[in-house]
């Protein structure tokens, strides 16, 4: 029986496909766009446009990289504020051209650093939360590996949030949680249990809408075509359903989805 912490470790497996792999397997004619038009180009975030079958979609992914060189280039998948602003810029373009948005999330968290703070990491995340809530086009976010706190949420205010069966999505990493509460990072497994951070837990709590089953646990290569083919089909189906709603209804549903999280019936004014 796999523990919750086993899944956290699987979510961090070096061999797992990254956001870039998903993009190249899901769409054709992909054109990557760079920069936030404010300060720089954050390589931790890949953003661009591609064809999902015959539907043009905007794709935004947090990339961890494969080899050492790539990993350093994309800062191990921890984005600076420029990354979130680059994502938002592409989302606003998607809204303008009526393209659905697919966000692919795999991050231990937004980057903790001097420059990131000085350029407003918190402000960049906050702006994404506000803007994504009212973005006038369908948004689907998929957590493919790590869903690390605010850095993940900044791309996960969506009509639907999906998770891979071995991904995790958490308010805090189990190690930090164990350190803060029990001053002992060795109790990470206990913290993982307490945090309820697996796809199954979060589906039950209505934090996510769908679990994407991983082929034979984490041996992606064997059944690549089937895995990505199914995912593409599911995405297309959901996009069509979301596009059939008028925009007001789409936004109302999105707002209500978050509005009911932790709703307390005793709060009335």
Provide the binding-site residues for another protein, judged by CB under 8 A: 110, 112-114, 116-123, 125-127, 129-131, 133-134, 149-150, 153-154, 157, 169-172, 177, 180-181, 190, 194-197, 202, 205, 207, 255, 258-259, 261-264, 266-269
In the complex, least distance from residue 224 CB atom to another protein, rounded to whole angstroms:
30
Nearer to another protein, 194 or 236 (CB): 194
Nearer to another protein, 52 or 139 (CB): 139
H, E, C per residue of the chain: CCCHHHHHHHHCCCCCCCHHHHHHHHCEEEEEECCCCCCCCCCCEEEEEEEECCEEEEEEEECCCCCHHHHHHCHHHCCCHHHHHHHHHHHHHHHHCCCCEEEEEEECCCCCCHHHHHCCHHHHHHHHHHHHHCCCCCEEEEEEEEEEHHHHHCCCCCCEEEEECCCEEECCCHHHHHHHHHCCHHHHHHHHHHHCCEHHHHHHCCCCCEEECCCCCCCHHHHHHHHHHHHHHHHHHHHHHHHCCCHHHHHHHHHHHHHCCCCCCCCCC
Nearer to another protein, 9 or 126 (CB): 126
Nearer to another protein, 92 or 196 (CB): 196
Nearer to another protein, 49 or 79 (CB): 79
In the complex, least distance from residue 193 CB atom to another protein, rounded to whole angstroms:
9
- Residue 148 in tokens: 């690390």
In the complex, least distance from residue 94 CB atom to another protein, rounded to whole angstroms:
18
Nearer to another protein, 63 or 121 (CB): 121
Rounded to whole angstroms, what are the CA distances from 110 to 118, 174, 194? 14, 16, 23
In the complex, least distance from residue 119 CB atom to another protein, rounded to whole angstroms:
7
Nearer to another protein, 50 or 81 (CB): 81
In the complex, least distance from residue 180 CB atom to another protein, rounded to whole angstroms:
7
Tokens 């990493």 identify what position?
A: 173
In the complex, least distance from residue 76 CB atom to another protein, rounded to whole angstroms:
11
| Phi, psi (rounded to 5 degrees) for 180 | -70, -45
In the complex, least distance from residue 75 CB atom to another protein, rounded to whole angstroms:
12
């Amino acid at each position: 029986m796999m523990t919750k912490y086993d899944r956290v470790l699987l979510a961090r497996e070096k061999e797992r496909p990254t956001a870039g792999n998903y993009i190249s397997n899901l769409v054709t004619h992909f054109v990557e766009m760079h920069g936030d038009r404010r300060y720089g180009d954050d390589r931790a975030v890949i953003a661009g446009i591609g064809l999902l079958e015959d539907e043009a979609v905007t794709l935004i992914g947090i990339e961890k990289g494969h080899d050492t060189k790539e990993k350093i280039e994309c800062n191990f998948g921890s984005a600076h504020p420029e990354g979130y602003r680059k994502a938002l810029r592409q989302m606003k373009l998607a809204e303008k051209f009526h393209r659905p948005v697919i966000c692919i999330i795999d991050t231990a968290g937004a980057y903790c650093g001097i420059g990131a703070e000085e350029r407003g990491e918190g402000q960049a995340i906050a702006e994404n939360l506000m803007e994504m809530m009212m973005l006038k086009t369908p948004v689907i976010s998929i957590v493919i590996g790590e869903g690390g706190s605010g850095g993940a949420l900044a791309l996960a205010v969506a009509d639907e949030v999906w998770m891979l069966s071995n991904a995790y999505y958490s308010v805090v990493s189990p190690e930090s949680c164990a350190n803060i509460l029990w001053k002992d990072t060795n109790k990470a497994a206990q913290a993982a249990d307490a945090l309820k951070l697996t796809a199954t837990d979060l589906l039950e709590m209505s934090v996510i809408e769908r679990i994407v089953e991983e082929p034979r646990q984490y041996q992606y290569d064997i059944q690549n075509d089937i895995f990505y083919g199914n995912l593409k089909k599911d995405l297309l189906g959901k996009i069509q359903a979301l596009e059939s709603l008028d925009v007001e209804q789409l936004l109302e549903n999105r707002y209500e989805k978050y509005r009911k999280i932790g709703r307390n019936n005793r709060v009335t004014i």
